[in-house]
Amino acid sequence: MTKTFLQHELKSFWRARNTGKNVAVKIIMGVLILYLLLCALGVGFFLDKILAHVFSGQDVVIAFCGIILIYYIFDLILRMQLQELPTLKVQPYLQLPIKRNSLARYLAATSLISAFNLVPFILFVPFIIKVIAVHFNGAVACSFIISIFGITIFNNYLALYIKRKANLNGWIFLIATGILVLICLGDFLWHIYSIRSISYVFFGHLIHYPVLALLPILIAMGMFYINFFYLKANLYLEELSSKKTLYKSSTEYPFLNKFGIAGDLVANEIKLILRNKRPNSAIKMSLLFLLYGLIFYKKPGMMHSDYPAIFVGMFMTGIFIINYGQFMFSWQASHFDGLLANKLNVAEFIKGKYLLFTLVSTLAFILTIPYAYFGWRILLIHFVMYLWNLGVNTTIILYFANRNSKRIDLSKGAAFNWEGVGATQWLISLPLLITPFVIYIPFSLLNFPNLGLAVLGATGLGAILIRGILIKKLEADFYAHKYTISEGFRNK
Amino acid sequence: MIEIQNIKKTYNGILVVDVPRLEIKKGESIGLVGNNGAGKTTLFRIMLDLIRPDQGEVISNGEVVAGHENWKNYTASYLDEGFLIDYLTPEEYFYFIGGLHQQTKAHVDDFLASLTDFFNGEILKKGKYIRNLSKGNQSKVGIASCLMQQPQLLMLDEPFANIDPSTQIRLKNLLKSINKVQGVTTLISSHDLNHITDVCDRILLMEKGKIIKDIATSSSTLGELEDYFAVG
């Protein structure tokens, strides 16, 4: 059965729309992953030297035992951001004589194919062989490798479990990330406890009692089964699993009325975001990114360069544009024909998009004003990047939206629809993130950082001022692509 | 009102629509019949500028449809659920469509009140999003939104499918009345030969993309069509 599923998935990949783009993205991802694995290999081989250098005066074995848990905490954070959930559209298989177990097993098993599961071995096994096996004996080395195997599997399924839960309820993602960040802060910032000593408690004992390696294996098995049973229990069409439906009332946003048709369109789009799980989690992600500044900004008035603020400022005021905008107009795929055939002109449609971006970014900018605590310059840079987002990034996103014809089915529910949040998506947004630096860096290197900021701000403002012209251009561009877009969207 | 000139559309080398010439006059009621794959929906989509034909033009009130938007002012259409914004409640959807035609909420409410029978108490104030309605009820929302636009040209693709018999009969009466009383040009496709011959004055029969019959409805039309579709 697994073989059949694999074949079907390969077919769905090769026969999908945008196959060329998908392949290109996969190749770039592949190269990146390979590079990261090679880096990990390098670090792995010299880990004993690195540890001896960083923790000079401390026994390398103790240092090693200490960092393992730290690694896994960061591993979990990264996995939650980047690891992609295995996708198999289960619906067509549910009514066939296929055991639920084999579907769930397939989904659980394929999730193990991930570079994340390879890295810990590349990183730690060389050290275990070079140092642990020599210092102690083969049995201890084996118990270390088994423990690492166990914790890796545990992390793998824990991350996927959280992601799956988060797909149904975006708050879970926020809460889980928050907890992990607090755990890290508790050690590195507040010094309440030391993760390294907690880690050593286990791995230090492992040296004397190799049997303890069974513990990670047990928690791994436990996590696997939690994940497995969760999958199995949720292999229902969404309508079946959620019986109770609340009364859905009609809503209005009176303040949008003065924007005419564009305002009506924005009202619809706000409803789209609030009433569908996938865009809903996109916006909750955006909320999370409002805290991004806390990671980068340390002490008030201690800013040595503008780079972090440019990056963070663009992210915080523009994350919605990037995160939600990259799937434009796919969100509306299921009623795109209706939009085209109704009395709605394209210029209004595009105006509506600009209006939506402007409203949300303005809100994000207002929410980030408290960062002025870290210095007024940060606020200034945020404002510059806010202008940049409104002027330039919106236009770029809409330009690419005209070239996107991949359907997203909102009505299909989020439970088994995992395309959307993963590393590939971040890759697509890379050009957006790089462009402002391309402009700013030359000025900064020539020691005119203020001029650089002024140019960024002026470019953004200029683009906002000529929005009328940009809308005309985008409209013409839309007409050139509209048949391709609508045909792609019709293709279920 | 509408003129089709030399429309051709092929998919993967197969000709799906091939209409050298077709003229639809103002006030006509036209029924489009044909088996699956005959090209009815594709023809509709070309007429609504949703698909680009390989060649030819659709002209509506003297203006080419493709690339222009004037025709949208007087054309209302419902082909499938792809026309509905499914995360809105029916009321929100009606207000939105009404807003596109500069109709106030009160105006929309008035109009909807006139459709109470047609809705049969299943659409309004039910506290459901359109996506949670049954297919038949979704279809009712689509058709009602078309009627609300007070169009000069109405295009419906299989409006009788999925809806219950009572509503089918109500819909027939509605369609007849807007055509006969208000003079709206109607273009309807259907697989139900009884209904279509009842509602429409002119029947177009499509086969493999071509219009092979163009008949004014008479008492013998139903028999003629049944003979064509009967498989020997």
Phi, psi (rounded to 5 degrees) for B76:
-115, 140
Both A328 and A458 in one domain: the answer is yes
Residue from B100, B152, B157 to probe the interface with A (highest A Cβ count within 10 Å): B100
- In whole angstroms, give the CA distance from residue B87 to residue B166: 27
β-pair type (B55-60, B2-11):
antiparallel
**Domain membership flag for residue A27:** yes
- Residue A146, pLDDT > 80, answer yes
- Judged by CB atoms closer than 8 Å, whether chains meet at A341 and B132 is answered as no
pLDDT in tens, A386-428: 999 999 999 988 988 888 877 776 755 444 444 544 555 566 6
B152, B70 contact by CB (below 8 A): no
pLDDT at A360: 92
* In a domain? residue A463: yes
Q: A216 and A171, same structural domain?
A: yes
Point out the residue among B82, B87, B99 whose CB comes nearest to the CB of A276.
B87
* One domain, residues A355 and A262: yes
Contacts of A405 in chain B (CB under 8 A): none
Record: contact B101-A275, CB cut-off 8 A: no
A190 found inside a domain? yes
Query: Hey, are the CB atoms on B100 and A335 less than 8 Å from each other?
Result: no
Taking the alpha carbons of B46, B51, B57, B62 in that order, is the dihedral positive or negative? positive
Query: pLDDT tier at A170 (50, 70, 90 boundaries)?
Result: low
Task: Give how many domains chain A has, as a whole number.
Answer: 2
Rounded Cα distance between A35 and A425, Å, is 19
Whether residue A112 contacts residue A228, with contact meaning beta carbons closer than 8 Å, is answered with: no
Nearest to B139 by CA among B118, B153, B154: B118
Q: Looking at the predicted structure, is the pLDDT value of residue A194 above 50?
A: yes
Q: What is the largest CA-CA distance in chain B?
A: 55
How does pLDDT run across A301-345, given as a tens digit for each residue? 556 778 888 888 888 898 888 888 888 888 888 889 999 999 888
Q: Can you give chain A as a three-state secondary structure string? A: CHHHHHHHHHHHHHCCCCHHHHHHHHHHHHHHHHHHHHHHHHHHHCHHHHHHHHCCCCCHHHHHHHHHHHHHHHHHHHHHHHCCCCCCCCHHHHCCCCCHHHHHHHHHHHCCCCHHHCHHHHHHHHHHHHHHHHHCCHHHHHHHHHHHHHHHHHHHHHHHHHHHHHHHCHHHHHHHHHHHHHHHHHHHCCCCCCHHHHHHHHHHHHHHCHHHHHHHHHHHHHHHHHHHHHHHHCCCCHHHHCCCCCCCCCCCCHHHHHHHHHHHHHHHHHHHHHHCHHHHHHHHHHHHHCCHHHHHCCCCCCCCCCHHHHHHHHHHHHHHHHHHHCCCCHHHHHHHHHHHHCCCCHHHHHHHHHHHHHHHHHHHHHHCHHHHHHCHHHHHHHHHHHHHHHHHHHHHHHHHHCCCCCCCCHHHCCCCCCCCCCHHHHHHCHHHHHHHHHHHHHHHHCCCHHHHHHHHHHHHHHHHHCHHHHHHHHHHHHHHHHHHHHHHHHCC
How much is the ipTM here?
Answer: 0.84
User: What domains sit in chain B, N to C, each tagged with a CATH number?
Assistant: 1-74+151-232 (3.40.50.300), 82-148 (no CATH)
- Domain check: are A101 and A191 in the same one? yes
> Binning pLDDT at 50, 70 and 90, where does residue A244 land?
very low
| pLDDT-derived band at B69, boundaries 50, 70, 90 | confident
Measured CA to CA, the distance from residue B222 to residue B185 in angstroms comes to 22
Q: Is A253 on the interface with B (CB under 8 A)?
A: no
The two structure tokens encoding residue A376: 């007024």
Rounded CA-CA distance A61/A200 in Å is 10
Q: Which two tokens stand for residue B156?
A: 């419906």
User: Which of B48, B83, B132 shows the shortest C-beta gap to A245?
Assistant: B132
> Which residue in B11, B72, B61 sits closest to B41, CA to CA?
B11
CB of A9 within 8 Å of any CB in chain B? no
Mean pLDDT, to the nearest integer, of A152-159?
A: 93
- Residue ending a domain, choose from A235, A266, A291: A235
Q: What is the pLDDT of residues A343-376, one digit of tens each?
A: 888 999 999 999 999 999 999 999 999 888 888 8
Q: State yes or no: pLDDT of B79 exceeds 70.
A: yes
Q: Which of A346, A353, A345, A303 is nearest to A328 (CA)?
A: A353
Q: What is the pLDDT of residue A90?
A: 67
- Å from B211 to nearest chain A CA? 24
The last residue of a domain, from among A235, A270, A298: A235
Domain range enclosing A275:
254-490
A432: its two tokens: 């957006």
Q: Which of A334, A410, A486 sits opposite B50 (nearest CB)?
A: A486
Q: Which of B86, B80, B91 is nearest to B115 (CA)?
A: B91
Distance from C-alpha of A451 to C-alpha of A455, rounded to nearest angstrom: 6
Q: What is the pLDDT of residues A255-305, one digit of tens each?
A: 888 888 899 999 999 999 888 877 877 777 778 788 878 777 776 655 677
Q: Are A390 and A460 in contact (CB under 8 A)?
A: yes
Q: Is the distance from CB of A21 to CB of A29 less than 8 angstroms?
A: no
Same domain, yes or no, for A230 and A280? Answer: no
Buried b (16+ CB within 10 A) or exposed e, A431-470: ebeebbbebbeebbeeeebeebbebbbebbeebbeebeeb
Q: Give the model's pLDDT for residue A309.
A: 86
Residue listed under structure tokens 């390398």: A60
Q: Which residues pair with B185 in a beta bridge?
A: B153
Q: What is the mean pLDDT of residues A140-145?
A: 91
The neighbouring-strand residues paired with B9 are B17
Judgement on whether residues A296 and A209 belong to the same structural domain of the protein: no
**Domain boundary pick from A235, A268, A294:** A235
Does the CB of A15 have a partner CB in chain B at under 8 Å?
no
Mean pLDDT computed over every residue of chain B? 91
Shared domain check, A454 and A392? yes
Q: Distance (Å, rounded) from C-alpha A134 to C-alpha A70? A: 24
Instruction: Find the closest chain B residue to A345 by CA distance.
Output: B69
Q: Across residues B111-132, what is the average pLDDT?
A: 89
Say which residue the tokens 């890379």 belong to: A430
Return the exposure string of A95-120: e unless at least 16 CB atoms fall within 10 Å of the residue's CB, then b.
eeeeeeeebbbbbbebbeebbbbebb
- In this prediction, residue A190 carries a pLDDT of 81
Cross-chain residue pair B129–A342, CB shorter than 8 Å:
no
Residues in B whose CB is inside 8 Å of some CB of A read: 45, 48-52, 67, 69, 72-73, 75, 77, 79-89, 91-92, 96-97, 99-101, 127-129, 131-132, 149
Query: Comparing C-alpha atoms, which of A489, A347, A269 is closest to residue B50?
Result: A489
Q: Which of A249, A479, A487 sits opposite B127 (nearest CB)?
A: A249
What is the pLDDT, as a whole number, of residue A426?
A: 63
Percent of chain A with pLDDT over 70: 88
Stretch A216-238: mean pLDDT, rounded? 84
Structural domain includes residue A320: yes
Q: Would an 8 Å CB–CB cutoff place A272 in contact with chain B? A: yes
Contact B82 A337 (CB under 8 A): yes
Is A246 inside any structural domain? no
Tell me if B127 and A345 make a contact (CB, 8 A cut-off).
no
- Do A303 and A207 share a structural domain? no
Between chain A and chain B, how many beta carbons pairs sit less than 8 Å apart?
90
* Residue A56 banded pLDDT, cuts 50, 70, 90: confident
Is B31's pLDDT higher than 70? yes
Whether residues A199 and A61 fall in one domain:
yes
A43: pLDDT strictly greater than 50: yes
Q: Please check whether residues A210 and A306 belong to one and the same domain.
A: no
Q: Using an 8 Å CB-CB cutoff, list chain A residues near B149.
A: 343
User: For the ranges A94-98, A376-380, B205-209, which has the lowest average pLDDT?
Assistant: A94-98
Mean pLDDT of A446-470: 92
For residue A158, pLDDT over 80 is answered with yes
Cis? peptide before A329, omega within 30° of 0:
yes
Range of lowest pLDDT (A83-92, A94-103, A179-188, B124-133): A83-92
Which H or E run includes B144? helix B135-148
Chain A CB contacts of B91 below 8 Å: 250
**Res A276: pLDDT:** 81
* pLDDT band of A17, cuts 50, 70, 90: low
User: Cβ contacts of residue B186 below 8 Å, gap of 6+?
Assistant: B28, B29, B30, B153, B154, B155, B156, B175, B178, B179, B199, B200
Q: How many CB atoms lie within 10 A of CB B101?
A: 17
Backbone angles phi, psi at A295, to 5 degrees: -75, -35
Q: Do B128 and A248 touch (CB under 8 A)?
A: yes
Average pLDDT rounded to a whole number, residues A134-159: 91
Q: Is the model's pLDDT at B80 over the cut of 80? A: yes
Least confident of A134-138, A202-206, A237-241, B223-227: A237-241
Please indicate, yes or no, whether residues A194 and A303 belong to a single structural domain of this protein. no
In terms of domains, do A402 and A469 share one?
yes
Residue A3, classified by CB atoms within 10 Å of its CB into exposed (0-12), middle (13-18) or buried (19+), is exposed
